[in-house]
Structures are given as structure tokens and as C-alpha cells.
Amino acid sequence: MSKKKIVLILYGIFVLLILTGYVSSAGALISGFMLTLVFGNYYQQQKTKLISWFLKIAIVGLGFGMFITDTLQAGKAGFALTVFTIVSTLLLGFIITKALKIDTKLGFMLSSGTSICGGSAIAAVASVIKAQAKSISMALGIVFLLNAIALFIFPPIGRFLNLTQQQFGLWSAVAIHDTSSVVGAALDYGQEALKIATTVKLARALWIIPLSLFAMIIFKNKSGKIQIPWFIFLFIVAILINSYWHLPQQLTSTITWISQKILISTLLLIGTTLSVKDLKETGIKPLILGILLWLFISITSLWIIMKIV
């Protein structure tokens, strides 16, 4: 039997383990990484498409477990923190990029990914500033690495500091880059943290639009295409349906359960996209920038949240 077929069978086995609850978010991520490390990276194009669609479907499905009043409350609590951390992280990123003499476009992509929503923000601004493929890969590689670390260390840190569900939900939404890892970490912490983290992170993702317009002005590119995360609006529609249509609880519980399992399966696929070779090619200066920005937004937001929430 070829390695390619073995990998496909192993994917199926891991999905079954996820459905039965034997694999957590962090476990799925590391399992995907180990699969690629041992057997090689197969089905790259298919996985890229599945990751994109699975994440969107899972997020929209999670909306059926939320109510509009709770969502507005969570969004309100995270708004000021969102504005502060986005602006301060972008400014710090500009300063460190200049100090380390890193390529301006690469520095801007890393700052955007750290301040808003990881790979989605990087992909959005990359299309606007017309970044080179190598720089995009570098930025995505660094953000993915830090996402993987956060998925493992954030829940234990939250428990050690006795963070409430609301505090952890806010913190993970602000300080973890990609939506998938935010939801994965919050899912391990608790259902209330999951609801808050998902709402605040998706509201944060909407800042991609003004950031892209800002990038268009700074890099003087009038022909750049702005990518709008349309699935966020479907997430809002799902919340409204759940809030006002009085759907059966068994139905909404089933939808959210399936969505959570799809999300963990997505993390399995994301884990397979990371390779040791990509990490080695990242380079030390961009990695230093990514780590410094991540530490800044993590520590600053945690301090503020523990003081005011």
C-alpha cells in the first residue's frame, strides 16, 4: 500500500477519534504535524480548500449556539481592547521592522496577522500590497508556529491564573492569531469562553477591511483587491435565527456539536500543513519580530483584562 493511501486511511481514523471525543484541539494539531513529519505532505491543494471551507462552516454553525443579547455584550466588552491592541501592535510592528531592517511588506503582514486574525489578515493585506510569495509564506509560517504554541499553552496559563470564562475568552480572542486556534483554545477552556472568544474574534476580523484600505494608502496601490470575510455575516445570521426563531434545543445542540468536531478536524488538517523545512527557511529576524509582537499583545491584553474584567 502506498504512503498516500496510508495517509488517507489515517486521516479517516483520526476523524473518527475526534468524533468520539478522544482527540482534543491541541491533540488534533500535533497529530496532523506528526502525520506530515512521518509520511510526507500529500493532498496539499485539497487540504487548503477543505481548511478554508471547514473553518467557515464550523464558525457559522457555532452561531446557532449563541443569542444576540450575549453576543452584543461580548462584543461591547471587547471593542475598546480590540481598538487599543490593533493600533498599538501595528505601531510597535512598524518600529521593530525599521529597527531590525526587515522588508517593509513582510513586517506589515506580520504586524497585521498578529494584531487582527493571523492568516486571514495576512492573505488580505498581501493581495493589497502585492507581496511576494516568499514573504507571504514566511509570514504565514511564523504566525502558524505561534498559533500552535498558543493552542497548547493558553488553557494551562488561564487555569493557573484562575481566569474566568469571560476573561479567557477575551484574552484568547485578542492574543491568539488565527480564528481556528482561538476557538480551539477556548473550546478546551469552556463553553462560555468559546462563545465570547468566537464573537470577539470575528468582530475583530472585520477590521481587515479598514486595515486593507490603510495598506492601500500606505503602499500606494490603488488596484489592490480588498477581501471581505463574508462568512462573518452568515455567523451573525445564525445567531439571529437562534435568538428569534426558537429552534428546538436538540437541533441547535446537534449543530454546535457537529461544528465543534468540524473545527477540531480542521485543526488536524492545519497541523499537516506545517513542515520543519518551512520553519527552518523562515529566518531569525522575522521570527524575532513575530515573537516580540505576540508577547506584547499577549502580556498587555492579559494585564488589562485581569484589571478591568
Q: For the purposes of burial, counting CB atoms within 10 Å of the CB of 37, is it exposed (0-12), middle (13-18) or buried (19 or more)? A: middle
Q: Which amino acid is at 99?
A: A
Concatenated DSSP letters for 120-185? HHHHHHHHHHT--HHHHHHHHHHHHHHHHHHHHHHHHHHHHTT--HHHHHHHHHHHSSSHHHHHHH
**pLDDT tens for the chain, residues 1 to 309:** 788 888 889 999 999 999 888 888 878 888 888 888 888 888 888 888 888 888 889 888 988 988 888 777 776 767 889 899 999 999 999 999 999 999 999 999 999 999 988 888 888 888 788 888 778 878 888 888 898 899 999 999 999 999 999 999 999 999 999 888 999 999 999 999 999 999 898 888 888 888 888 888 888 766 556 666 777 788 889 989 988 988 898 999 999 999 989 988 988 888 887 666 766 666 789 999 999 999 999 999 999 999 987
Q: How far apart are CA 180 and CA 182, in angstroms?
A: 5
Rounded to two decimals, what is the model's pTM?
0.81
Q: How far apart are CA 196 and CA 171, in angstroms?
A: 10
Q: How far apart are CA 58 and CA 181, in angstroms?
A: 13
Beta carbons within 8 Å of 68's beta carbon, 6+ residues apart: 239, 240, 243, 244
Contact indicator for 254, 18 with CB cutoff of 8 Å = no
Task: Give residue limits of the domains in the chain.
Answer: 3-308
Q: Which amino acid is at 304?
A: I
Cα angle: 129, vertex 201, 31; to 5 degrees: 90
DSSP class of 118? T
Q: Which amino acid is at 63?
A: G
DSSP class of 291? H
